[in-house]
């Protein structure tokens, strides 16, 4: 890649990491937010329920935000929407850090909190697919996998940054100090860094693919979403199936894992979180590795061969932990590396849609599928755990099979050049 390509990839990955940090930091301070933004007379479980309801609103807003920003990204340019998404996230996160509490303004506090969370969801809905399309259309064709894998690595590092920030705050300060405005620090920091990323993205250039379509007047004259729905059902089905694989790996083996380890395998909270950090670090490395491999062998063969490894690694981990808990950290590293197969998902997605509707096709498929799987996966896995402690592995193994079938579909269908 050229120096310009490396700079583009670096700025895109950095912005993605900071934006995902902004989106995820909310969940690490859910207990504090529940105490400060809802009526004190409510029972604790109700405060927690309402706080997670606000958190979930961000996921529900993702499809709408992604569809709207993708529409304008296909019409007006990738760069504008790519920059706008991080601006929206930075302002929303900064607003959360400055927001008066229920003690200050009453019921307006949770209402404003909900509104800001919806804006965060809309922003992340445009950022993730926008970042994949943006870097894929900048780098040489034989480096698309590496570019998308690197951006995905940045997103996963954003999760780790959120975890480390929350751990640091709760280690350095007492619970009383955290409640007394210290909780605002990670939000304010995220907002400020987000604004810095907005400034840095000014130096990014529009993608060569979009500029070429503009010059040749090849932009879609119809509503891009209508074209996607009418002409690209295969691309939508493939993208949604691969998003199912991605969400199974992230939600079950990363986001739910600390809770599963504590409730069903007897590990302490601190030990579970440390193991989760190890898994996330190896996940980041796995995303880049997957990108390198998919550039060499193609998406069809990659998902046909590597998707089952994700489910098998989870099955090995949970089987080992039942026999010998001392395997926790090596097993977490192995699983995190295998979850890295998600780094190849955007490589397949950008190739199943033509350039004129690429942003809309990818964004709509990804965000709708993630909204569905993001809502149903925790419920399904929790119910399955009542029957077997191996349920999380079996659930992921199922989507590993889906990934292999999708690899066959990629092998037999058309392939759009980027």
Q: Which one is predicted more confidently, 288 or 54?
A: 288
Q: How far apart are CA 169 and CA 280, in angstroms?
A: 20
Q: Is 188 helix (H, G, I), strand (E, B) or coil?
A: helix
Q: Please provide the DSSP assignment of 339-387 as one string.
A: HGGGGGHHHHHHHSS-GGGHHHHHHHHHHHHHHHHHHHHHHHHHHHHTT
Q: How far apart are CA 273 and CA 164, in angstroms?
A: 10
Q: Which one is predicted more confidently, 346 or 22?
A: 346
Question: Do residues 324 and 267 make contact, with C-beta atoms less than 8 angstroms apart?
Answer: no
Tell me: pLDDT of 284 over 80.
yes
User: Going by CATH, does the domain composed of 222-418 fall within 2.30.30.110?
Assistant: no
Q: How far apart are CA 359 and CA 77, in angstroms?
A: 10
The pLDDT-based confidence of 270 (bands split at 50, 70, 90) is confident
**What mean pLDDT is predicted for residues 367-375?**
85
* Closest CA relative to residue 327, chosen from 336, 315, 318, 339: 318
Q: Structure tokens of 59?
A: 């996921």
The pLDDT-based confidence of 375 (bands split at 50, 70, 90) is confident
Cα–Cα distance list, 271 to 43, 322, 335 (Å): 29, 16, 16
Tell me: pLDDT of 15 over 80.
yes
Q: How far apart are CA 210 and CA 213, in angstroms?
A: 5
Alpha helices for 267-298 (secondary structure H): 269-297
Fold of the CATH domain 1-219 = Growth Hormone; Chain: A; (1.20.1250)
What pLDDT score was predicted for residue 162?
86
What pLDDT score was predicted for residue 89?
92
Domain-by-domain residue ranges, the chain?
1-219, 222-418
Q: How far apart are CA 339 and CA 280, in angstroms?
A: 9
Q: How far apart are CA 151 and CA 147, in angstroms?
A: 6
222-418 and 1-219 share a CATH fold: yes
**What mean pLDDT is predicted for residues 313-332?**
93
Give residue-wise pLDDT tens across range 84-135: 988 999 999 999 999 999 999 998 999 999 999 999 989 988 888 999 999 9
Highest mean pLDDT among 13-27, 253-267, 351-365: 351-365
**What mean pLDDT is predicted for residues 6-12?**
86
Q: Which of 12-21, 23-32, 244-253 has the lowest mean pLDDT?
A: 23-32
What pLDDT score was predicted for residue 365?
95
* Closest CA relative to residue 362, chosen from 377, 376, 343, 348: 348
Residues ≥6 apart with Cβ < 8 Å to 290: 145, 149, 302, 306, 340, 341, 342, 343, 344
* Closest CA relative to residue 124, chosen from 357, 371, 339, 346: 371
The pLDDT-based confidence of 410 (bands split at 50, 70, 90) is very high
Give residue-wise pLDDT tens across range 214-224: 888 777 778 88
The pLDDT-based confidence of 256 (bands split at 50, 70, 90) is confident
- Indicate the average pLDDT of the chain: 89
* Closest CA relative to residue 236, chosen from 348, 132, 361: 361
The pLDDT-based confidence of 381 (bands split at 50, 70, 90) is confident
The conformation of residue 221, written as its DSSP 8-state character, comes to S
Q: How far apart are CA 81 and CA 89, in angstroms?
A: 12
The pLDDT-based confidence of 402 (bands split at 50, 70, 90) is very high
Question: Do residues 25 and 162 make contact, with C-beta atoms less than 8 angstroms apart?
Answer: yes
Give residue-wise pLDDT tens across range 186-196: 999 999 988 98
Place of tokens 């340019």: 77
């Amino acid at each position: 890649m050229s120096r310009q390509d490396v700079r583009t990839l670096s700025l895109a990955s950095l912005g993605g990491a900071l934006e995902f940090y902004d989106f995820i930091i909310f969940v690490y301070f859910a207990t504090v937010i529940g105490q400060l933004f809802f009526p004190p007379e409510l029972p604790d479980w109700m405060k927690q329920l309402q706080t997670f309801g606000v958190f979930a609103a961000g996921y529900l807003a993702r499809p709408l935000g992604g569809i709207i920003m993708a529409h304008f990204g296909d019409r007006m340019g990738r760069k504008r929407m790519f920059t706008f998404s991080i601006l929206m996230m930075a302002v929303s996160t900064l607003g959360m850090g400055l927001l008066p509490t229920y003690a200050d303004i009453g019921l307006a506090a949770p209402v404003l909190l909900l509104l800001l969370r919806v804006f965060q969801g809309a922003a992340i809905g445009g950022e993730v697919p926008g970042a994949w399309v943006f870097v894929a259309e900048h780098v040489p064709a034989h480096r698309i996998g590496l570019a998308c894998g690197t951006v995905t690595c940045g997103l996963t590092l954003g999760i780790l940054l959120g975890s480390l920030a929350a751990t640091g705050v709760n280690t350095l300060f007492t619970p009383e100090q955290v409640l007394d405005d210290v909780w605002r620090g990670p939000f304010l920091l995220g907002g400020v860094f987000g604004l810095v990323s907005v400034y840095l993205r000014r130096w990014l250039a529009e993608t060569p693919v979009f500029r070429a379509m503009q010059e040749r007047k090849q932009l879609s004259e119809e509503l891009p979403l209508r074209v996607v729905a009418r002409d690209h059902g295969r691309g939508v089905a493939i993208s949604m199936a691969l998003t199912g694989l991605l969400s199974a790996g992230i939600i079950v083996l990363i986001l739910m894992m600390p809770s599963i380890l504590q409730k069903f395998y007897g590990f302490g909270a601190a030990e579970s979180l440390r193991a989760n950090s190890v898994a996330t670090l190896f996940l980041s490395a796995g995303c880049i590795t997957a990108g390198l491999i998919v550039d060499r062998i193609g998406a069809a063969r990659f998902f046909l061969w590597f998707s089952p490894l994700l489910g098998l690694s989870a099955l090995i981990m949970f089987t080992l932990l039942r026999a010998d808990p001392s395997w926790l950290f090596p097993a977490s590293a192995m699983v995190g590396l295998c979850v890295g197969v998600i780094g190849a998902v955007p490589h397949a997605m950008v190739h199943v849609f033509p350039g004129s509707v690429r942003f809309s096709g990818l964004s709509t498929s990804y965000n709708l599928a993630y909204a569905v799987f993001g809502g149903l996966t925790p419920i399904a896995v929790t119910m399955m755990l009542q029957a077997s402690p191996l349920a999380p592995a079996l659930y992921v193994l199922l989507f590993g099979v889906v990934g292999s079938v999708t690899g066959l579909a990629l092998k037999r269908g058309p392939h759009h050049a980027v």
